[in-house]
Structure 1
Amino acid sequence: MSWETTLSWEDAKMKASILNQIRQFFFNRNVVEVETPLLGSSTVTDVHLEAFETLFNYFPSSSVDFSDSLYLQTSPEFCMKRLLASGYESIYQICKAFRHEGKGRIHNPEFTILEWYRVGFDQRDLIEEVSCLLKDVLNCSEPKIISYQDLFTKHLNIDPLETSIEELKNIIDINGISDDWIIEEKNIDILLQFVLSELIEPNIGHDEPVFIYNFPISQASLAKQNVDDSRVADRFECYFKGIELVNGFCELTDHIEQQDRFNKDNLERKQIGRKEKQIDTRFIDALKSGIPSCSGVALGIDRLLMLALNKEQIDEVITFTIDRA
């Protein structure tokens, strides 16, 4: 019956216990819990993300003939960085996030996210801390760590930082995958992401989590460029048992570079026929005022719970998914 929850009472108690464990983890490390708005006047420019939009009529400047747009956050990132610019130190948040996209086995358009920022941490420091959290919650083995470049070399014998569209399409074809969009695709990053998800991800992270670091700079619009290799950014992801759990990076703090990357996002959106997004000027102003050197990471709580409770569907760790809300 559609009125019933898909999260059992026993699992609800386990979920509450795990959330308490996560909060204790950060309390022990002197990372302070914060909260930020779910609704904001701006949203992300990311070409592959769409936010839920609603209308608001009650700003002092609101007109009877015009409604202002507000957006449900796709993550709390921009507001949390504004806190850092305001003088906050290491912080974390467990909250709802929203993405206007389809529901699937491991995704619900409304989901719970854990996001945290560590002042003074670099990419490696944060990978180590994420590893500690995963071992605490999942009681898993020590994670493996491999660069994006070495991962592609190991599994497909190609260099993703020097490859071509033609080589990627050939690799896809050799593996028996054929589709019209692949033949027509001209964006190398879309092909790289497809190859990673379809040809590499199924073969990693079966027995222990796997961290992949140093993604191409073109796939990391909010991350710092790597000081040793300008082709990559200090960004990492973590995969475990077929699930992408974590996305983190050493934060870009240069407001001019960030504005330029947002503009490039909007140019790409325009080129593929998507609506351009208004850039979050409050976030840019916060960067301009200065934020401390830090690294931040987002972790999907619902996906973590699926692994912790040994569930196959995200429905089993959420009280009411989008189709029952």
Structure 2
Amino acid sequence: MHRPWHPERLAARLPFLRRRARLRAEVAAFLAARGYTEVETPVLQPCPGMEPNLDPFATRYAAKLGEEARALYLQFSPEFAMKTLLAGGAGPIFQFARAFRNGEAGPNHQPEFTLLEWYRPGADLAGLMDETEALIRAVCPDGLRRGDAVVPTDRPFARITVAEAFDRLVGVDVLASAGDAAALACAAGIAVRPGETWQDVFFRLLLERVEPAIGRDAPAFLTHWPVSEAALSRRDPSEPRVALRFELFAAGVELANAYEELTDPAEQRARFAAWRAERWAATGEDRVPDENFLAALEHGLPPCAGIALGFDRLAMLASGARTIDDVLWLPVV
């Protein structure tokens, strides 16, 4: 068996790994030049994140031998921790953070991975797209490569709303069908599978018809998501059916997820309560929200925008590697 550290296998991966190292330094320099401060926050958190579809790695902590232990989790992302720093007045910040999601492995996935997250007080979604585009162009001037496909970065990145994408590529008014799985499936010419919700049909169409068709000629921002998929983003005040969120795609890979951040603590509590109930119904796990994060929202999170970019994926596309494993020094799985 050729293990990841085996000289022959490591030698084959070294060009990708050295590109990764240069890329990290280039990204840090770019953000520092724009006034960002690099931070480090704990990987262990009282709540891994509230997304009901993600499974955590759990552990237990006791201050001393024999003391009753309490649950801690390896984080899905550093988002909660970084937003508490924003509420405290840290200003523009970024982090290369270790993140963990149980049950994930594949050409684009590992259960332990690196997220690049950055947040700027006062920024909006359009400004964050401008900055993200500038960063990708600066650190990957020769384009993004996956196999034989090369996506140039020296031309304007595409910007398309979810509603526009579904109209053009699926032929449906996705916002008009919100909450009605049968209506969305019928309009798209597909059958609803047993137990599928509107969200299930939405994501099936997104994965099968939308994502493969965007980010091929230039990286593409898919923006203004249905409000049911708002996550931690604000609603669009000019269109209450959508949220101020974008994802970035290139060469068939989702690279980043970004929000104009939700700052309303009451709405955030309500969303967490809904996710908590959904997780309980699906798995029997009672995932308790992070009260420290909610306290920071109560104190006052400034208007801001933030992004989580899969750094391993960016390294893969920057180096031309075919899988995530090629840009990891020692893959976990």
1:22-52 per-residue CA deviation (whole Å, 9 max, x = no partner) reads 0110111011111100111222221111211
Equivalent of 1:246 in 247, 252, 256: 256
Determine helix, strand or coil for the equivalent of 1:49.
Answer: coil
Does the alignment pair 1:57 with 2:59? no
Shift of 1:101: 1.9
Give the 5 Å matches for 1:158-237. 158-163=172-177, 164-170=180-186, 174=190, 182-237=192-247
Shift of 1:157: 1.3
Correspondence for 2:128: 126
Determine helix, strand or coil for the equivalent of 1:134.
Answer: helix
Judge which range, 183-192 or 303-312, deviates more. Answer: 183-192
Distance 1:270 1:186 in 2: 18
Q: CA, structure 1 residues 23+3, in 2 after alignment: closer, same or farther (shift >3 Å)? A: closer
Determine helix, strand or coil for the equivalent of 1:183.
Answer: coil
Correspondence for 2:295: 285
User: Which consecutive residues of structure 2, in runs of 5 or more, have no partner in the other structure?
Assistant: 142-152
Q: CA, structure 1 residues 162+274, in 2 after alignment: closer, same or farther (shift >3 Å)? A: farther
Equivalent of 1:76 in 71, 75, 78: 78
Letter in 2 for 1:32: T
Letter in 2 for 1:43: P
Q: Is contact 1:117–1:296 with CA below 8 Å preserved after alignment? A: yes
Judge which range, 185-194 or 72-81, deviates more. Answer: 185-194
Determine helix, strand or coil for the equivalent of 1:185.
Answer: coil
Determine helix, strand or coil for the equivalent of 1:231.
Answer: strand
Does the alignment pair 1:2 with 2:3? yes
Does the alignment pair 1:147 with 2:161? yes
Shift of 1:172: 6.3
Q: Is contact 1:112–1:300 with CA below 8 Å preserved after alignment? A: yes
Does the alignment pair 1:322 with 2:316? no
Equivalent of 1:113 in 107, 112, 115: 115
Distance 1:3 1:155 in 2: 41
Q: Is contact 2:118–2:306 with CA below 8 Å preserved after alignment? A: yes
- Percent identity, aligned pairs only, is 34
Shift of 1:194: 1.5
Does the alignment pair 1:38 with 2:43? yes
Letter in 2 for 1:280: D
Shift of 1:274: 4.0
Equivalent of 1:25 in 22, 30, 46: 30
Shift of 1:3: 5.0
Q: Is contact 2:158–2:220 with CA below 8 Å preserved after alignment? A: yes
Correspondence for 1:263: 273
Correspondence for 1:88: 90
Judge which range, 215-224 or 242-251, deviates more. Answer: 215-224
1:226-252 per-residue CA deviation (whole Å, 9 max, x = no partner) reads 010111110000110000001001011
Shift of 1:168: 3.3
Shift of 1:271: 2.6
Distance 1:108 1:43 in 2: 17
Q: Is contact 2:235–2:243 with CA below 8 Å preserved after alignment? A: yes
**Structure 1 stretches of at least 4 aligned residues deviating more than 6 Å after TM superposition:** none
Distance 1:203 1:171 in 2: 19
Q: Is contact 2:315–2:327 with CA below 8 Å preserved after alignment? A: yes
Q: CA, structure 1 residues 261+63, in 2 after alignment: closer, same or farther (shift >3 Å)? A: farther
Letter in 2 for 1:165: A
Letter in 2 for 1:86: G
Distance 1:3 1:236 in 2: 35
Distance 1:172 1:50 in 2: 31
Distance 1:171 1:229 in 2: 22
Determine helix, strand or coil for the equivalent of 1:95.
Answer: strand
User: Which consecutive residues of structure 1, in runs of 5 or more, have no partner in the other structure?
Assistant: none
Determine helix, strand or coil for the equivalent of 1:297.
Answer: strand
Instruction: Please report the TM-score for the alignment, with normalisation by the length of structure 1.
Output: 0.92
Shift of 1:171: 6.0
Shift of 1:115: 0.2
Letter in 1 for 2:182: E
Distance 1:28 1:273 in 2: 45
Letter in 1 for 2:5: E
How many residues get paired? 314
Correspondence for 2:148: none
Distance 2:139 2:218 in 1: 13
Q: CA, structure 1 residues 171+322, in 2 after alignment: closer, same or farther (shift >3 Å)? A: farther
1:277-312 per-residue CA deviation (whole Å, 9 max, x = no partner) reads 011000000000001110000000010011101111
Shift of 1:75: 0.4
Instruction: Please report the TM-score for the alignment, with normalisation by the length of structure 2.
Output: 0.90
Q: Is contact 1:43–1:278 with CA below 8 Å preserved after alignment? A: no
